[in-house]
Structure formats: C-alpha cells, structure tokens
C-alpha cells in the first residue's frame, strides 16, 4: 500500500490556484492562464512543507491539527504563501496524505478554502464493479474557527457538470453537517483552468483548478478525478 501526497494552494484575491501531486507533477493557474511547472522538489522542515521548482516557490504551514477524511486520508488546512512566476501571493491550501489502496475504480476529491476559519474537503470513491454515483462512498470535512478545527460532515453530496471532452466545468457541494442540521451548507465552483497528470499503471488524474463561491464570498481550491487504468 502506497501513499498519495497532494498539495493544493491558492489566493482568491490574486486569482491564483495550484495543485501538486508527488510523483506526477504540478498545475498552476495564474490570471486564468494554465502554467505547467513540472514536478517540484518537496521537502518538510520544522512542520512546514516547501515546494521549489521552475516558476514557483511555495511554503505551506498547517494552521491546526489534521482532519480524518474517511478511513484512508488526513487533511491539513494550511497558510500558503510564496511566489509564482516571481509574483508573490499569500493565501491558503491543504496537504492531503491518502493511502493508495487501488480499491476504487474512480476517486474524486474537492478542496475549497475561503478564509483561515472556513474551508472544506470532500472525497468520493466508486468501487470496482459499481453501477454509478449511487454506489460511491462519500466523506467530507469542514474546518471552522481559528485555529481551525476539523469536523466530519454527516451527509455530503457532490454534483459535477462535465464538458464534451470529459473535463470538469462546474461542481455543486451540499453538506448536511449533522443529522440535526436544518439547512445544508451549499458551495458552488467554476473551473478556471484544467489539465491532466498521468500516474503509474496508466491511471489518469484530471484536475480542475477552481474558483468557489459561498454566500457571496469567494474562495479557491481544486477538484481531482482519478480513474484507474482498468476503469
């Protein structure tokens, strides 16, 4: 069993969105333009994760303890800052460490960050042999307060609109945070730029770098969709 390390970062005010997957590569959108920056060097020191590579220099510092996203992933909400194409930014991000069990035919993950006291993470896994979305296993976290505290969401829902080429165009997230919740937390996201990263064994990860909105507030984040080679 291996581990998949995904590092997302963004600054909604600066129009910056990025994601790096260890061993696969990095995609960054700046000013609506997609930048392929190759695979950066990733190192950790004194609790800070640093990405260094062509056209980017980014540091992520956890703002609090991680949350458990389902049974196989841990997510840290982070302060993210650095430079992309020499332009400075100061925003948010997440570090996700997930066990790569190979048990799912399709994995989808979404991260959305609004401010240091409010962020969301969602994962959906479709087992091999499943008929469709109804058989997916969903889990979600909400990070609230400063320092942020992660709490599981009782009933998460994820809907996605795809383009003719299979790219992710829009997503809608509905989160009933507890069984007693009277109202759902609703978040919408639109793709700013998208790309693909090829993984081992022929697995393909589609990535949408996204702008999110919630009650008039703007956020940044990303949506990943990984299909197993045999799916």
pLDDT attached to residue 231: 43
What confidence tens digit (pLDDT) does each residue in 134-171 have?
568 999 999 999 999 999 999 999 999 999 998 999 99
Higher pLDDT, 180 or 161: 161
Q: Judge whether residue 207 has pLDDT over 70.
A: yes
The residue range of the domain holding 220 is 2-227
Q: In sequence order, what DSSP letters do the residues of the chain get, joined into one string?
A: -EEEEEEEEEEGGGTEEEEEETTTEEEEEETTEEEE--PPEEEEETTEEEEEETTEEEEEEESS--EEETTTEEEEEEEEEEEETTEEEEEEEEEEEEEE-S-EEEEEEEEEEEETTEEEEEEEEEETT--SGGG-EEEEEEEETTTTEEEE-SEEEEEEEE-TTS-EEEEEEEEE-STT-SS-EEEEEEEEEEEEEE-GGG-EEEEEEEEEEETTEEEEEEEEEEE-TT-
Number of domains comprising the chain: 1
Task: Tell me the whole-structure pTM to 2 decimals.
Answer: 0.92
What average pLDDT is seen over the chain? Answer: 90
What confidence tens digit (pLDDT) does each residue in 51-70 have?
998 889 999 999 999 999 98
The CATH number for 48's domain is 2.40.370.10
């Amino acid at each position: 069993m291996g581990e998949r390390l995904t590092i997302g970062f963004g600054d909604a005010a600066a129009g910056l969105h990025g994601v790096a997957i260890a061993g696969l590569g990095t995609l960054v959108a700046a000013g609506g333009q997609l930048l392929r920056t190759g695979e950066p060097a990733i190192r950790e020191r004194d609790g800070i994760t640093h990405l260094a590579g062509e056209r980017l220099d980014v540091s992520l510092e956890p703002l609090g303890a991680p949350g458990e996203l389902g049974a196989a992933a841990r997510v840290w909400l982070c302060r993210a800052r650095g430079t992309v194409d020499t332009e400075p930014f100061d925003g948010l991000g997440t570090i996700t460490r997930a066990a790569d069990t190979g048990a799912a035919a399709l994995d989808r993950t979404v991260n959305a960050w609004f401010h240091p006291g409010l962020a969301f993470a969602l994962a959906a896994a479709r087992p091999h042999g499943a008929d469709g979305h109804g058989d997916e296993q969903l889990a979600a976290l909400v990070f609230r307060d400063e320092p942020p505290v992660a709490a599981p969401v009782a009933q998460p829902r994820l809907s996605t609109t795809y383009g003719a080429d299979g790219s992710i165009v829009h997503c809608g997230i509905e989160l009933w945070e507890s069984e007693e919740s009277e109202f759902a937390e609703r978040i919408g996201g639109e793709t700013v730029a998208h790309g693909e990263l090829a993984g081992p064994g022929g697995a393909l990860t589609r990535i949408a770098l996204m702008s999110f909105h919630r009650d008039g507030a703007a956020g940044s984040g990303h949506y990943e969709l990984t299909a197993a080679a045999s799916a």
